[in-house]
Amino acid sequence: MATDTPPERAAMLRLTGIRKSYHAGTPVETEVLHGIDLSLRAGEFVALKGPSGSGKSTLLNIIGLLEPATAGTLEIGGHALQSLDDEVVTALRGSTIGFVFQFHHLLPGFTALENVLMPSIIAHGTSTAEAEAMGLDLLARVGLKGAEHKHPNEMSGGMQQRVAIARALSRKPRLILADEPTGNLDTVTAEEIFALLREFSHDHHSACLIVTHDPRLAASCDRVVELVDGRLSGG
């Protein structure tokens, strides 16, 4: 008798034949992703490696619904993105995906806590007591207890990146995308942040795809996939 797939084993992300070209249809058309197949289960923690210029950031932008693929299919949480209108895709991105960029992109006029609460404010028009409590807890867990009311210009680059990581986790995303999230942090803090991402992924059954050049961090992931010249191995 067939049984349902346990939620922690269900596919959270599935890419099939993803291609990306720039200047499509022109003499200078350049294809940077050549038919990417990749699947991540809920709760799975996967490292994405590859040399500079191999297309890692482009792939994360496509998965994060920040730019479209030229061809192929993308499913997140069982939703085929090609069948959804722009409004639904925008809502899905806000509620399902937590994105940690290579650069923190904090809003300079807001405090650390307000930056962490911003996804909740955008979604609901205001923050909630529950969101604020979680924001304070996340800031403490990334080592910023006591810095909740500092503005970005009062924090180091590493501190700002930790705020960005707390912000990405604030709405308990089912899919976490991280582009070199520990690149601006010292070794000890990087390991602590990596451990936090792993713990969050495990506790909330969130799939996590993390770009890292650190072989020690990559080795501690469930799986490592490598992107070279627009082609993926290990997916």
Please write the tens of the pLDDT for every residue from 175-219. 999 988 877 778 888 888 888 889 889 888 999 999 988 888 889
Confidence (pLDDT) at 224: 95
pLDDT at 1 over 50: no
Q: pTM of the entire structure? A: 0.86
DSSP H or E run through 187: helix 187-204
Q: Are 170 and 200 in contact (CB under 8 A)?
A: no
Q: Using alpha carbons, list the distances in angstroms from residue 67 to 64, 89, 104, 190, 229.
A: 8, 12, 19, 28, 19
pLDDT at 2 over 50: no
State the chain's mean pLDDT as an integer: 86
Q: How far apart are CA 98 and CA 11, in angstroms?
A: 17
Instruction: Tell me the domains of the chain and their CATH numbers.
Output: 10-233 (3.40.50.300)
Q: Are 153 and 159 in contact (CB under 8 A)?
A: no
* Segment among 11-20, 118-127, 149-158, 169-178 with least mean pLDDT: 118-127
pLDDT at 7 over 80: no
User: Whose structure tokens read 């349902």?
Assistant: 4
Q: Are 82 and 74 in contact (CB under 8 A)?
A: yes
Q: How far apart are CA 188 and CA 227, in angstroms?
A: 27
In sequence order, what E strands does 9-111 have?
11-22, 30-41, 45-49, 71-76, 79-80, 97-100
What is the tens place of the pLDDT at every residue in 103-136?
778 999 999 999 999 988 887 788 888 889 999 9
Q: Are 206 and 173 in contact (CB under 8 A)?
A: yes
pLDDT band, very low/low/confident/very high, at 59 (cuts 50, 70, 90): very high
DSSP H or E run through 179: strand 175-179
pLDDT at 5 over 50: no
